[in-house]
Chains A and B, each alone.
Chain A
Amino acid sequence: MALSIQQRDQRFGFLLTLPGLATLFIIIIFPLVFTIITSFYDYTLLNPNHDDFVGLENYQEVLEEEYIGHSVIITIQFVLATVFIEFIIGFALALALDKVQRFKSIYYLILLAPLMINPVVVGLMWRMILHTELGIMNYLLKLMSINRVNWLGDSDIAFWTIVFVDIWHQVSFMTILLLAGLAALPREPYEAARMDGASALRCLIYITLPLMRPVIIVALLLRLIFAVKTFDIIYIMTKGGPGIATDLVSYFIYRSAFFSLDIGRASALSVGLLVIVLLLTFYLYKYMRSPN
């Protein structure tokens, strides 16, 4: 029996989406389901099979883990520090760039350059710049008669070094989002405010910030979600060290899987992290869909 036009359309549409669906399945759905299943088994690289079902034991172990608390705390610190500082710098940059008329594209190019660099390259680049003996940073400090700093080897400094590099890499993302928000603001309320007697600062406080609130929240949440998952910079620059000074949760999971070879426990940790990120994403999604 011949297919109706509608059925043929549906079949054709399905064929078109098939490659995308297959890719999605292979690189996202399968690993996700595999991780969730594995988190309930005693699955190690020495014993890589789903033979020993252990229920919630992996999760219990994670909670009892000695250093997981430390990782969670420094991850929260890292996320708050990077997102907050990125927001302040990003907003200042966006406000400055919003009024620029000439050479706009050049500023944009400079601004976007870090974002276009692969995180691994960013890590390597900064590792070289910040190298204690050979790095250009310490050389410059020496020129100014300042003692050299062990940027990545000092457990008090390493955390802030990582924070700095992440900000350098990601601040333009924040700037671009906020800049788009500023560009979309209506011009009229500002003129009305000027006639009402508002100074530039008051316009910023009473007009710009309230009108930008939705954009600011979306920008903060997006960066928050990305920052929670930060891994590459840590892997390249400090490997969680010195000691466990920069051992963010994502790197902690990596160590559990590939140093302790305990895939089951790492899977349980991953599922935990996923739940947190999902909650943030869900909130973001709901916020963006809400009429206000």
Chain B
Amino acid sequence: MAEIILKNLTKIYSGDVLAVDDINLKINDGEFIVFLGPSGCGKSTTLRMIAGLETISEGEILIDNKIVNDIDSAKRDLAIVFQNYALYPHMSIMGNLSFGLKLRKLPLLEIEKRVLETADLLGIKHLLNRKPKELSGGQQQRVALGRALVREPIAFLFDEPLSNLDAKLRALMRTELIKLHRRLKTTTIHVTHDQVEAMTMGERICIMEQGKIIQVGTPIEIYKNPVNTFVAGFLASPPMNLFDASLTAADSEINIQFSGNVVTLPKKRFASLMKYIDGEIVFGIRPEDIYPEEITENMAPFDVTVLAVESLGPETILVSHLMDGQEIYARLDRSFKAGYNTKIRLYVDISKIKLFDSKTTLAIH
């Protein structure tokens, strides 16, 4: 069990490549936190610094209130699961699982007991005498996980462990990892670029971009209130629709003009929007907040041309053109039907509209 604190953590690679830029984060004891971001955002580097596999350029890492900057990874008592599993190719699965315990000079009986328990838990007991290369990807992944579990470390570090698995197995392992965490309550940092993984697994998500932490919060918080256009455009699939728009004030209303459409906002938003009047903003709406008909009073219509109707079974994704050719995604009921190139009218739920400053990209509340 461990609480991990990152203080002004910075990583500069040889020369001047700033991989991690002054990040601060407290990971609570027993928490399952997901580092989410596109490749090259510094999430893996951060994880590797916590693991002790990368040196720290500036700042501190504290584990249970102890600075570990100069403590060797072998002594931090953390366990990592790598993306490519990194099993010991020359050892049997038994050898792979017991290696860390042997190094810690545990009694042989204890080692055997723990290995068998872990193998049983992960359903790899029948593979103990095999070599890693005789195993399938999914089985190797379980062994890599087992190697981390068997040591009973104070925290787990997962470095995109599911990204080499096929979709079905990935979904299965996702659930298993969550179940495992509920049972063990061990602090877990899970690095991924897959936002579905982040949404479903994380108690909290920490979104990173270009070495910086952009937003930290529960999945639903981040989904509801993305702090900037990057988070809005990154989370969920399809992500939030974002359009450049201009604001004009008329009488007691504010009009947002985007792609030849006008959406009129209620007065209560006035205060925070005053300084953007006659200026540029970014207008955002999630695909699930768009409807094919007016179901409440609080809706604004706009016209589109149908490009594709993707039926996913339980729902339908409508891809269409706005008047100026920009694409807009809508998540509609499975009963929705429309022909290619037909013009239809869609409605946005005004209360769900998000507005962002077009210069700073930050959300306007």
Interface residues of A (CB under 8 A from B): 186, 188-189, 191-199, 202, 206-207, 210-211, 213
A213 to B99, CA, bound (A): 19
Inter-chain contact A197/B82, CB cutoff 8 Å = no
Q: Which of B86-94, B289-297, B332-340 contacts A (4 or more CB under 8 A)?
A: B86-94
- Counted as pairs of residues, one from A and one from B, with CB atoms less than 8 Å apart, the total is 59
Q: Which residue of B lies closest to A198 (CB)?
A: B103
Q: Which residues of B sit under 8 angstroms from A202, Cβ to Cβ?
A: 103
Interface centre among A194, A195, A206 (most CB of B within 10 A): A195
Interchain residue pairs with CB less than 8 A apart (8): A188-B85, A189-B87, A192-B87, A195-B78, A196-B74, A196-B151, A210-B90, A210-B91
Interface residues of B (CB under 8 A from A): 51-53, 72-75, 78-80, 82, 84-91, 99-100, 103-104, 147, 151
Q: Chain A nearest CB: distance from B155 CB in Å?
A: 11
A171 to B59, CA, bound (A): 46
Chain B interface main SS type? loop
A67 to B82, CA, bound (A): 62
Other-chain residue from A186, A206, A211 in contact with B99 (beta carbon distance below 8 A): A206
Inter-chain contact A196/B53, CB cutoff 8 Å = no
Inter-chain contact B99/A195, CB cutoff 8 Å = no
Q: In the complex, given contacts A192-B88, A196-B100, A197-B104, what are 6 additional A-B residue pairs having Cβ atoms less than 8 angstroms apart?
A: A188-B82, A188-B86, A192-B80, A193-B99, A194-B73, A196-B99
Q: Chain B nearest CB: distance from A206 CB in Å?
A: 7
Q: Which residues of A sit under 8 angstroms from B73, Cβ to Cβ?
A: 194-195
Inter-chain contact B88/A195, CB cutoff 8 Å = no
Chain A interface main SS type? helix
Q: Chain B nearest CB: distance from A188 CB in Å?
A: 3
Other-chain residue from A186, A189, A194, A206 in contact with B53 (beta carbon distance below 8 A): A194
A196 to B99, CA, bound (A): 7
Inter-chain contact B103/A197, CB cutoff 8 Å = yes
Q: Which residues of A sit under 8 angstroms from B78, Cβ to Cβ?
A: 195
Inter-chain contact B88/A189, CB cutoff 8 Å = yes
Q: Chain B nearest CB: distance from A83 CB in Å?
A: 24
Inter-chain contact A193/B75, CB cutoff 8 Å = no
A186 to B66, CA, bound (A): 33
Inter-chain contact B89/A186, CB cutoff 8 Å = yes
Q: Chain A nearest CB: distance from B17 CB in Å?
A: 16
Q: Chain A nearest CB: distance from B89 CB in Å?
A: 7
Q: Which residue of B lies closest to A188 (CB)?
A: B86
Q: Which residues of A sit under 8 angstroms from B91, Cβ to Cβ?
A: 210
Q: Chain B nearest CB: distance from A280 CB in Å?
A: 25
Q: Which 4 A-B pairs have the closest CB atoms?
A: A188-B86, A196-B100, A197-B74, A210-B90
A23 to B361, CA, bound (A): 75
Q: Which residue of B lies closest to A101 (CB)?
A: B14
Q: Chain A nearest CB: distance from B200 CB in Å?
A: 26
Q: Which residues of A sit under 8 angstroms from B52, Cβ to Cβ?
A: 194
Q: Which residue of A lies closest to B88 (CB)?
A: A189
Q: Which residues of B sit under 8 angstroms from A188, Cβ to Cβ?
A: 82, 84-86
Q: Which residues of A sit under 8 angstroms from B75, Cβ to Cβ?
A: 197
Q: Which residues of B sit under 8 angstroms from A196, Cβ to Cβ?
A: 74, 99-100, 103, 147, 151
